C-alpha cells in the first residue's frame, strides 16, 4: 500500500510476513531525496512520545527486509521518473531522473525500531547501501539513528563509518529517564562519552542530536541553556523536531514561539541548529508517527488499553496494534 502526501512525501506499508507490516517513507527536497527505513517490526524500546513504541515489538528485520525497503522505493520512484517511450531514449537505470540524477540520495535508519538492537542485519544492509555495485551511496549520506545503546554504539565504530544521529530529547537524566527509558541503563554521560569515541579520528565529522519539542516538557529557555552546557565539547548539529501527535498521546507540540526561542539560544551559543519542517503528517508519515502493523510479543500495546475498555470488550478482542490494514500490501 502506497500513500502520497500533499507535500510530496510518500509512504509504503510493506508486509514482511503473514502478521506483520512495516513502513518506509520517502521525503523529497530540492537538493536531496531521503528514504527513512525501518529496522524492526515495532520497537523494543518504549519512548513515550513515539507512536511506533506504542505498537510494541515483534522481531528484528532481516537484511533482505531492510534493504528490500530501498529496493521497493527505488523501483517505485524510478518507474514514476521514466522517460516516455515517445522520447526515443533508452530506459535509464532504475531510480534515476531524466537528467540522470539519483532520486534516493540519502538513507536514514530512522523508521520503526532501534537499529543498534538489530546490529548485524542493519550493518550488513548499510554496507549494501554504500557498496559501489549495489546502491553506491556515500557513507556520509547513510545515517543511523539511535536512542543510545552504548555497547552497540562502541561496536559500530569498529565496523562502520556511517553518519550518526542520537535521539537525545532531554538535557538531563531525570527527564530523559521519562522520555527515553533506555537512559536508565545508559545515562546521558555514558552516551555522550560513546559519542566522543565514535568521532575519534574523524576531525571533520559531527553528530546530529535529535530533540523533539514537547510543550511544557522540554522546551524552556532554561532547558536550552542546559543543553548548551551538555554538548559544549562535542562537535554537534542539533535538529529540533516539532512533536507530531498520534492517538492517545499525552503530549502536545511546542508553540512556534517556544521552538524559535529555544533554537535562538542554541544558535547564539554556536551550535548549528535546524528546526525540522514537518513532512507527511497528513498521511501519518512524519517523524514519530510510523506504526505499521505489529503482532506485539511484548504485550505493551495491550497493557496501554484502559481497564474500562478491556472490561467491556468481547472475550477474544483483536489487540489495538492489529487494527492497521495489512492484507493486500506489497511484501518485501
pLDDT digits (tens, 9 = 90+) for 152-168: 999 999 999 999 999 99
Q: What is the DSSP letter of 306?
A: -
**pTM confidence score:** 0.83
- pLDDT at site 124: 98
pLDDT for the residue numbered 310: 34
- Count helices and strands (H / E) in the chain: 10, 13
Determine the pLDDT at residue 277.
80
The answer to whether the beta carbons of residues 24 and 14 sit under 8 Å apart is yes
What pLDDT does 81 receive?
A: 52
Backbone angles phi, psi at 52, to 5 degrees: -55, -40
Whether the Cβ atoms of residue 86 and residue 329 lie closer than 8 Å to each other: no
| Distance of alpha carbon 138 from alpha carbon 75, whole angstroms | 20
Phi-psi region of 270 (alpha: psi -120 to 50; beta: other; left: phi over 0): left
What count of other Cβ atoms lies within 10 Å of the Cβ of residue 62?
Answer: 15
The cell numbers describing 91, all together, are: 530506459
In this prediction, the residues of the chain whose per-residue pLDDT falls under 70 are: 79-101, 279-293, 299-332
Q: Which residue has the cell 527527564?
A: 175
pLDDT of residue 287: 57
- Euclidean distance between CA atoms 125 and 332, whole angstroms: 14
Residue pLDDT, tens place only, 125-139: 999 999 999 999 999
Residues whose CB is less than 8 angstroms from the CB of residue 57 and which lie 6 or more positions away in sequence, other chains included: 40, 41, 42, 43, 44, 294, 296, 297, 298, 300
Output the pLDDT for position 57: 93
The pLDDT value recorded for residue 112 is 93
Query: What pLDDT shows up at residue 175?
Result: 98
Q: Among all residues, which ones are annotated catalytic?
A: 23, 287
* pLDDT number for residue 295: 77
What is the helix (H) or strand (E) element at residue 208, kind and residue range?
Answer: strand 207-213
Amino acid at each position: 500500500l502506497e500513500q502520497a502526501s500533499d507535500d510530496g512525501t510518500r509512504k509504503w506499508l510493506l508486509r514482511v510476513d503473514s502478521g506483520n507490516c512495516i513502513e518506509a517513507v520517502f521525503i523529497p527536497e530540492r537538493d536531496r531525496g531521503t528514504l527513512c527505513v525501518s529496522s524492526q517490526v515495532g520497537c523494543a524500546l518504549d519512548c513515550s512520545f513515539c507512536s511506533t513504541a506504542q505498537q510494541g515489538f515483534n522481531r528484528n528485520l532481516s537484511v533482505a527486509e531492510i534493504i528490500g525497503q530501498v529496493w521497493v522505493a527505488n523501483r517505485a520512484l524510478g518507474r514514476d521518473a521514466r522517460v516516455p517511450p515517445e522520447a526515443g531514449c533508452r530506459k535509464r537505470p532504475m531510480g534515476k531522473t531524466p537528467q540522470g540524477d539519483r532520486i534516493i540520495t540519502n538513507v536514514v535508519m530512522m523508521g520503526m525500531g532501534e537499529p543498534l538492537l538489530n546490529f548485524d542485519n542493519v550493518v550488513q544492509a548499510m554496507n549494501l547501501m554504500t557498496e559501489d555495485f549495489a546502491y553506491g551511496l556515500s557513507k556520509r549520506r547513510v545515517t543511523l539513528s539511535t536512542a543510545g545503546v552504548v555497547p552497540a554504539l562502541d561496536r559500530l565504530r569498529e565496523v562502520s563509518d556511517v553518519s550518526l544521529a542520537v535521539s537525545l530529547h532531554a538535557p538531563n537524566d531525570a527527564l530523559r529517564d521519562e522520555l527515553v527509558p533506555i537512559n536508565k541503563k545508559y545515562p546521558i554521560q555514558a552516551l555522550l562519552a560513546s559519542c566522543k569515541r565514535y568521532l575519534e579520528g574523524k576531525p571533520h565529522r559531527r553528530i546530529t542530536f535529535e530533540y523533539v519539542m514537547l510543550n511544557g516538557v522540554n522546551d524552556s529557555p532554561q532547558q536550552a541553556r542546559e543543553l548548551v552546557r551538555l554538548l559544549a565539547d562535542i562537535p554537534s548539529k542539533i535538529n529540533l523536531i516539532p512533536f507530531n501527535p498520534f492517538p492517545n498521546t499525552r503530549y502536545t507540540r511546542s508553540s512556534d514561539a517556544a521552538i524559535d526561542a529555544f533554537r535562538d539560544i542554541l544558535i547564539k551559543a554556536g551550535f548549528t541548529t535546524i528546526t525540522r519542517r514537518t513532512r507527511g503528517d497528513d498521511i501519518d508519515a512524519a517523524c514519530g508517527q510510523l506504526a505499521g502493523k505489529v503482532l506485539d510479543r511484548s504485550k505493551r500495546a495491550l497493557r496501554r488499553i484502559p481497564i474500562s475498555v478491556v472490561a467491556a470488550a468481547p472475550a477474544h478482542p483483536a489487540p489495538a496494534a492489529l487494527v492497521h490494514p495489512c492484507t493486500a500490501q506489497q511484501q518485501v
